[in-house]
Structure 1
Amino acid sequence: MGKISVLDKQTAELIAAGEVVDRPASVAKELIENAIDAGATAVTVEIQRGGILYMRVTDNGSGFLREDVPTAFLRHATSKIHAQDDLDTIHTLGFRGEALAAIAAVSRVELTTRTAEELAGARYRIEGGEEIGLEDAGCPEGTTIVMRDLFYNTPARMKFLKKDISEANAVSAVVDRQALSHPEVAFTFIRDGKTTLRTPGDGKLMSAIYQVCGREFAGSMLPISHELGGIWLNGFVCKPTACRPNRNLQYFYINGRLVKSRTMMAALEQAYKNAAMVGKFPACVLHMHIPYQTVDVNVHPAKMEVRFSDEKRIFDAVYYGTKSAIAAGDVRPQMQLGGEKTERTTWSNPKERMPQRTAVRAYQQMLPTVPQAPARPDADIFLSDVGQRAVQTNVWNPALDIEAGEEPAAAPIQASRPAESIPADPAATAEEAPAPPDGAFPSADADAVPAEEAAAPADIVPAPADMQPAEQAPIQLEEPPQPIRVIGEAFHTYILVEQGEELILLDKHAAHERILYEELKKEEEPRQQLLLTPEPVRLSREEYAAIMENIPLLRKAGYDVDDFGGSSVMVRALPLVLSGTDVKSLMAELAGGFMEQRRTALPQRLDWLYHSVACRAAVKAGNLSGPEELESLARRVLSGKDIMYCPHGRPVAIRLTRKELEKQFGRIQ
């Protein structure tokens, strides 16, 4: 007897269903797409227990004819394509004819539907792929599908589902994305009896963005409308100052279909290069309309991955469209100078730009007041006997650096290019769009360091001598640490310290971060700073869910955050070391971190939270520090407490012995 046999229908159905349905969110996606394809203008999604126990999707679309209902639950049964040639011009969201069959194979499904031509509707029940019955029913025009007990017949699949709240958040994210894909459809999302989303369905993308992402996010967006060789791009991108710590709010749509496209992502981020801060990522809601035959959506059953016939044209359309939007929205932010608020100025005419000397004078007014430092000694004093005396330098006065020609990083003296300088067509200029990266994207890890720095020796405390047996070891008094002398600061980042026969370089940010991290971990009761006025923060629905899920951890770290309803949280207190921090950006950063850490255990998540507090509160590299601050940091690091690495694993200090230095100068062999 041969070893190869054909699988029975039930087993084959369960295997095939796994490609389409892996969690409640995938069920919601398929049912919403069917509703949109049916011409619905209103869609309601209701779930209980994360959508595992119960999910209902109701629409006012065209509905099913009674005789078509049983057929619709057969695999590869569809009304959207009829022949092979139709695959080249797919204009609907669904077309594979697998969704209803896959859902019915792993759950209990009840469908109620009626078309405009029929007087009575139909109710159809199917459980685990087995038909239960079809009967007449009174119902409005449209379709209602109720799914119960997902994976009731496949217990092995149940164990891979997450907690109810996590599954509910995933369903919520699906509804959000679909609402942004079709603003002409009014979406309602009901979660455990509570309505958490309602979009107007007025056809305006900004209305949907406002409801899904919140007022603050909507207010930070710039409109984009661009055409390039038959490719239409419209939607919104964020202002460079509103970039976020992660890519969670990047939404790309091709002909109304949500897609994952590395080409579009790379073009978007390349357009923000030199405009956004390092480690920040632009947010967007971009709709691209291209000829159907130029994109292949039949790549994966989930229909999220697509292939383009001309990747370069897609890249150029997103790149130039985004550059134009950024330039058109180049508005100078308001700032306080001498107690008076400056006017918001859009540089539309190069002749109207502010004279450079005025901008420099404004920058100098913004410089912080620092204590008067001693005069800089003659720069030509380089002592020949480096081993006997340290070079006397003074680095405390920032004005000296400006006079030396160093351009301040924050000096607002150069206006961005006007909107007219960005061509609508790349062919109209000699400037070429950058080539799309080969799948490599900038890392969000702002603490990455070069390999040379990471390999530098960090042990600044001598290893103890070999221990003798306890009964023979003489009693020795612990030698006090050798006195230190802070020489100065290099590059506003590294503290130069002389200790005994060694010259030590300390990374002030890494050192301070480690000190704060250890202090936070040792606190039994976190020290808090109450806000003068509790501050409400509106988040995206995914961010809100991530914050609410981690409220106990936030309180352990010193935050006081409560639910404020409507995807908003109320922040009442921050860790003491974060006093004065911008609360809105902090909450968005924490939410993004929690979403990335959702698979880690609670102790590791709390440890990450301590890291984030310490990193934010630590003195920043590149910022000027006073002599007292440098002295305090150096003494705390070199006091014998073995602070050798920052929480990210980078070395805190490297050392150079006097002997090594004299070898470099040829004083000894």
Structure 2
Amino acid sequence: MGKIKILSPEVAGAIAAGEIVERPASVVRELCDNALDAGADIITIEIEQGGIRCIKVTDNGSGMSADDALLAFQEHATSKISTLNDLEMIESRGFRGEALPSIAAVAKVTLETRRNDDDRGTRVRIEGGTLQEHLPVGTSVGTTVTVENLFYNVPARYKYLRKDTTEAARILDAVQKLACARPDVSFRLLNNGRESLHTPGNNDPASVVRVVWGKELADSCRIIPDNEAIHSPVWISGVIGSPDKTRAGRNWQWVYVNERPIKAPIVNAAIDRASQGWVMKGQYLPMMLFISLPPNLLDVNVHPQKLEVRFWDEQKIFSAVYHTIEAHLQRLSAERKLASEGTAQPVVSVLPPEQPDVVIHQPDGDSGGSERSISILAPPYSADIYDPASLYISHEGTPVRHGVPKTQISDQVEPKPETTGKANIFTEIGRRGRYVGQLFDTYILMELDTNIYLIDQHAAHEKIIFERLLTRQSEAGEVEEAASVQPLLIPLRLDLAPMELSAVRENGEFLAELGFDFDFFGERTVVLRGIPDSPDMISPEIAFRAAIAACSDTNYPLGEGIQTWLEQRKIQATADIACKAAIKANYGLDHRSVLSLLEQLENLNDPFHCPHGRPTIVEISKAELEKRFGRIV
């Protein structure tokens, strides 16, 4: 007897379903696609326990007849295409006829539907691919599909599901992307009875972006003008965030092709190429990019979940995306240059004009707790970077009022660890070197003996903050205590985008381990009461949002000595906080601030690289310069 045999329908159905139904978010995406193809303009999604226990999708679309409702659960039954040629002109979201039978093979599914002209509707109930019920019922016009106990009959798939909050976050992400593609449709998502998302359906893309991404980020986004978008036969539209609102992960770059959310490496490559010189390494411009082209130039029949597509000419797509983003950023740069024309770049050294020096009530060994005035590095004064949250509470309970902006360098120097002879170069530069000045308000230029040294002020300050935060976390870990928290005298209320709020709910314990103290307030607001303790006065909002972004990005490179995934996440989140809090490029520094920076670099374990691996210092010898000028051979 031969070894090869035909699988039973149940086993074959479960295997086929695995290609379509990967997790609860896959179910929601497929059911919403069906609702959109049915002409619905109101779609409500209700989930319980991350969609594992129950998913219910209700729409006001055209509905189905009793025969079609039953036939919809047959494999490859669809109303979207009928001939092979139709595959070349697909404009619907679904077309394979696999979604409903695949879902019904691994769950308990109930479908209720009615057309507008019918007196009554139809109910179909299927469990594990087996028909249980098919009868007439009273129901409203449209379709409601309820999916219960997902993967109840496929333990091999069920055990790979993540916790409820993680699966709910993936569903939120899927619904948000659908909502942005169709601003004319109202989407409402309820998670365990609580509303997570509700778009107006008023066909206004700006209002949807504001709901999905939050007011702060949405208001910084700019619409791609029509004259930048035409690269026949490719048409590109969408919004792009400001270069000063970058995010640590690609999760905020959404790409669509003919209103279909996709993953396209060639588009990502074009975005990265166009963004070079505008964003720092490891940072990404937030954007929603809508690519439109004739359906016959696109093959969407590549991936079972329709997340990947094949373009007729990838180079054409790359060129269109690249030139659109490049033109947009150049136009933005020209507008900013025009707006700032005639205003000189101030030198960053102390507090803004007409502000007193910072007074910090800090015990001092010689003076018995007397006040001391210090000069704190600050960016150019701007009204929007000062807020009441700049009031902190010291560990002794004495208020610490600093009134400082979001980016600065503390004068406080940590105890010096064991350093190598190489590390002492910062000591020598600080003590014997000659401060030449700044290049492009970004690089500190120092001269010592027969060498010149270029120091990246952002990378250097970023590493200082990073090692200090890690030291605080390590000290807390050695005594098995929570990370040291710097309380805020005035708690800060932050309105979060749905995806940010989902990340906070999912990673609350992790954020607490980093040193954040917060509570939920209302549906979309978090009250921040404390941030990780550090002598560098980090902006509470910047630090918290950087940590949230790190929570959303799980593709961290595993560094040397990092033993666990949790430790890996913690280090990456700390690096992102340090990056956002550090002094930025294009800010002038005074001599005292430069010396303070050098002194603090001297005391680091590794002062030569920022947390993301970029060098903090570059050495150029006199001999090398003389070779370049032809003085020596």
Q: After TM superposition, is the score higher than 0.5?
A: yes
Shift of the 273–606 alpha-carbon distance from structure 1 to 2, 3 Å rule, reads: closer
User: Residues 17-50 of structure 1, C-alpha deviation per residue, up to 9 Å, x if partnerless?
Assistant: 0000011000000000000001101100000000
DSSP 3-state at the match of 2:250: coil
How far apart, CA to CA, are the structure 1 residues paired with 2:535 and 2:118?
A: 65
Percent identical residues? 36
Residue 313 of structure 1 aligns to which amino acid in structure 2? K
Note the C-alpha offset of 1:552.
2.9
Match of 1:102 in 2: 102
Separation in structure 1 between the aligned mates of residue 273 and residue 77 of structure 2, nearest angstrom: 43
Matches within 5 A, 1:520-669: 520-523=473-476, 524=481, 526-531=483-488, 533-577=490-534, 580-597=537-554, 601-612=565-576, 626=592, 629=596, 632-633=599-600, 636=603
2:460–2:607 CA contact under 8 A, matched in 1: no
Alpha-carbon offset, residue 576 of structure 1: 3.5
1:182-221 alignment runs, 5 A limit: 182-221=182-221
Distance (whole Å) between structure 2 residues aligned to residue 609 and residue 318 of structure 1: 30
Q: Is the 8 A contact 1:50 1:166 kept in 2?
A: yes
For 1:46, the aligned partner's letter is E
Query: Quick one: structure 1 residues 227 and 516, their matched pair in 2 at CA, closer, same or farther if it must change by over 3 Å?
Result: closer
Q: Which residue of 1 aligns with 2:155?
A: 155
CA offset digits 1:439-489 (Å, max 9, x no partner): xxxxxxxxxxxxxxxxxxx98279xxxxxxxxxxxxxxxxxxx99993237
User: Residues 494 and 577 of structure 1: is their aligned pair in 2 closer, same or farther, counting only changes over 3 Å?
Assistant: farther
AA of the residue aligned to 1:486:
R
For 2:313, the aligned partner's letter is D
**Using a 3 Å threshold, how does the CA distance of structure 1 residues 2 and 608 change in structure 2: closer, same or farther?**
same
Answering whether residue 238 of structure 2 is matched by residue 235 of structure 1, we say yes
What is the number of equivalent residue pairs in this alignment?
523
- Residue number among 455, 462, 470 corresponding to 1:517 in the alignment: 470
- 1:306-455 correspondence to structure 2 within 5 Å: 306-330=309-333, 354=341, 358-359=342-343, 362-363=344-345, 365-368=346-349
Q: Which secondary structure state, in structure 2, belongs to the residue aligned with residue 287 of structure 1? A: strand
1:81 CA displacement: 0.5
In 2, the alpha carbon distance for the partners of 1:54 and 1:526 equals 38
Cα offset, 1:317, TM superposition:
2.6
Q: Does 1:460 align with 2:420?
A: yes
Q: Judging changes above 3 Å, is the alpha-carbon distance between structure 1 residues 607 and 311 closer, same or farther for their aligned structure 2 residues?
A: closer
Counterpart CA distance in 1 for 2:266 and 2:615 is 37
Letter in 2 for 1:266: A
TM-aligned CA deviation for residue 520 of structure 1: 3.7
Deviation, structure 1 residue 140: 1.0
Which stretch has the larger CA shift, 188-197 or 624-633?
Answer: 624-633
> How much has 1:609 moved relative to structure 2?
4.3
Amino acid in the other structure paired with 2:126: I
Q: Quick one: structure 1 residues 173 and 459, their matched pair in 2 at CA, closer, same or farther if it must change by over 3 Å?
A: same
Alignment check: 8 A CA contact 2:196 2:498 kept: no
Amino acid at match of 2:94: G
Shift of 1:244: 2.2
How far apart are 1:558 and its partner, in Å?
2.8
1:272 to 271, 275, 288: 275
Query: Secondary structure of 2:307's partner?
Result: coil
The 1:260/1:495 distance shift into structure 2, 3 A limit, reads same
CA root-mean-square deviation: 3.8
Change (3 A) 1:650 1:93: closer
> Which structure is larger by alpha-carbon Rg, 1 or 2?
1
Shift of 1:621: 9.6
Give the drift of 1:518. 2.3
Query: Does the 8 Å contact 2:71/2:77 carry over to 1?
Result: yes
Code of the residue aligned with 1:518 in structure 2: it is: T
Q: How far has the Cα of 1:158 moved from its partner?
A: 1.2
The aligned counterpart of 1:350 is none
The offset of 1:590, in angstroms, is 1.4
- Secondary structure at 1:486 match in 2: helix
Please state how far the C-alpha of 1:103 moved relative to its aligned partner.
0.2
Q: In structure 1, what is the Cα distance between the partners aligned to 2:173 and 2:87?
A: 29
1:244 correspondence with 2:244 = no
CA distance in 2, matches of 1:525, 1:148: 40
Partners of 2:318 and 2:598 in 1: how far apart? 51
Structure 1 counterpart of 2:349, one-letter code: P
> CA contact under 8 A between 1:188 and 1:197: conserved in structure 2?
yes
User: Displacement, 1:6?
Assistant: 1.2
Decide whether aligned partners of structure 1 residues 251 and 618 sit closer, same or farther in structure 2, where only a CA change above 3 A counts.
closer
Q: Is the 8 A contact 1:486 1:496 kept in 2?
A: no
Of 257-266 and 127-136, the range deviating more from structure 2: 257-266
Checking the alignment, whether the CA contact within 8 Å between 2:547 and 2:577 is kept in structure 1 is no
How far did residue 646 of structure 1 move? 7.8
Q: Is 1:295 aligned to residue 252 of structure 2?
A: no
SS of 2:183's equivalent in the other structure is coil
| Aligned residue type for 1:30 | E
Indicate which of 468, 472, 487 corresponds to 2:432: 487
Q: Which stretch shows the higher mean deviation, 538-547 or 156-165?
A: 538-547
Q: Distance in 2 between matches of 1:591 and 1:87?
A: 42
Question: So what's the TM-score if we normalise by structure 1?
Answer: 0.70
Seen in structure 2, the aligned counterparts of structure 1 residues 74 and 94 have a Cα distance that, compared at 3 Å, is same
Deviations 1:180-221 (A, max 9, x none): 111111111010011121111111111211111111121011
Q: TM-score, normalised by structure 2?
A: 0.73
Partner of 1:406: none
Question: How far off is 1:533 after superposition?
Answer: 3.8
Residues 330 and 556 (structure 1), Cα distance of their counterparts in 2 relative to 1, 3 Å cut: same
Alpha-carbon distance in 2 for matches of 1:568, 1:618: 26
CA 1:513/1:110 → structure 2, altered by over 3 Å: closer, same or farther?
A: closer
The question of whether the paired residues in 2 share the 8 Å contact of 1:56 and 1:147 is answered with yes
The 3 A distance-change label for structure 1 pair 103 and 489 is farther
